[in-house]
């Protein structure tokens, strides 16, 4: 903003705006709240904004407030016509209008989307671009079957990015592959709620649950099925045993057979276990895509 012809108070206002909004927005996402003391809706919204800013401070979010009565020139620059008006500012520019989001949940959902789209990293965090090659290395080693080495790689990457869901998910899946189930469960149980809901963590949890399925004497189960093909409990136990052995194809076959026979048995237990198996493998994996097509054929024919 040009300062020529401004009063001293207006220059101070611009300096505060530069210090409190523009400069922080170069590396953080700034929530800019236009409000006034007399504004009832502003007072109702303010606690939600304060709480969200506190909860998201570690994720690279800051809060700035502008009193439209005290900062009339700034309000005019932003063409504020009603309050509260709330913008998200990044690198000196408005990137989203948050005015219509009034609850903590709505604001957080919008911020999650912005942080992902803009690839904003928490202050002091290792840039994602630096850890992506290391994550890819860990995934490749894990796919090759060297679980202990994959665990070591993901542990080192987590030292750099302790809250990255992709890193945590990879570490847990590597631990599961190495049969270190107790540590995998401990890691998942220690995650905060917002991180625990990430798809990378859901996949890791599914892998743990699949690996934790009780193994059983498959010969005895097969004998039960030979005697009674509609022994659904035996067929589900057989699928669990195949999962525990790492035989995903046989597990999928047993579950699809059970779904075809009685899709609603035990509140859809076979379908739930089947989807869990796909999630553990990775929903975008070609094997999972093929199995989803097999499931559709069973359900819709």
Annotated active-site residue in 29, 32, 39, 96: 39
DSSP per position, 17-39:
HIIIIIHHHTTSEEEEEEE-TT-
Q: Long-range contacts for 11-19 (Cβ within 8 Å, ≥24 apart)? A: 13/71, 13/73, 13/74, 14/73, 17/66, 17/71, 17/74
Q: Distance of alpha carbon 99 from its chain centroid, rounded?
A: 24
90 flagged as catalytic: no
The rounded distance, in Å, linking the Cα atoms of 84 and 49 is 11
Specify the pairing of strand 61-67 against strand 93-97.
unpaired
Specify the pairing of strand 93-97 against strand 29-35.
unpaired
39 flagged as catalytic: yes
Q: Coil, helix or strand for 173? A: helix
Reading the block at residue 114, the tokens are 């912005």
The rounded distance, in Å, linking the Cα atoms of 100 and 180 is 47
Annotated active-site residue in 30, 31, 42, 151: 42
Which residues does the annotation mark as catalytic?
Answer: 39, 42
């Amino acid at each position: 903003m040009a300062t020529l012809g401004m009063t001293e108070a207006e220059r101070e206002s611009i300096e505060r705006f530069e210090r409190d909004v523009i400069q922080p927005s170069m590396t953080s996402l700034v929530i800019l709240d236009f409000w006034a003391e007399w504004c009832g809706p502003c007072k109702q919204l303010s606690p939600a904004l304060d709480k969200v800013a506190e909860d998201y401070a570690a994720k690279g979010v800051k809060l700035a407030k502008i009193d439209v009565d005290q900062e009339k020139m700034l309000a005019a620059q932003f063409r504020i016509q009603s309050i509260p008006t709330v913008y998200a500012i990044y690198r000196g520019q408005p990137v989203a209008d948050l005015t219509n989001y009034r609850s903590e949940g709505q604001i957080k959902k919008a911020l999650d989307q912005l942080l992902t789209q803009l690839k904003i990293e928490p202050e002091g965090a290792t840039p994602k671009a630096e850890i992506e090659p290391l994550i890819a290395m860990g995934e490749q080693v894990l796919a090759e079957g060297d679980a202990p080495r994959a665990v070591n790689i993901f542990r080192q990457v987590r030292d750099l990015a302790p809250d990255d869901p992709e890193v945590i998910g990879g570490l847990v899946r590597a631990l599961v592959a190495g049969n270190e189930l107790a540590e995998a469960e401990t890691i998942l149980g220690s995650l905060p709620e917002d991180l625990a809901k990430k798809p990378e963590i859901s996949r890791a949890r599914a892998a743990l649950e699949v690996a934790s399925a009780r193994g059983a004497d498959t010969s005895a189960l097969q004998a039960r099925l030979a005697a009674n093909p509609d022994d659904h409990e035996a067929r589900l136990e057989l699928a669990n045993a195949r999962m525990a052995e790492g035989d995903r194809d046989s597990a999928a076959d047993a579950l699809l057979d059970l779904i075809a026979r009685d899709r609603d048995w035990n509140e859809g237990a076979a379908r739930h276990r089947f989807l869990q198996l796909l999630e553990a493998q990775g929903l975008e994996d070609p094997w999972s895509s093929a199995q989803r097509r097999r499931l559709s054929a069973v359900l819709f024919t």
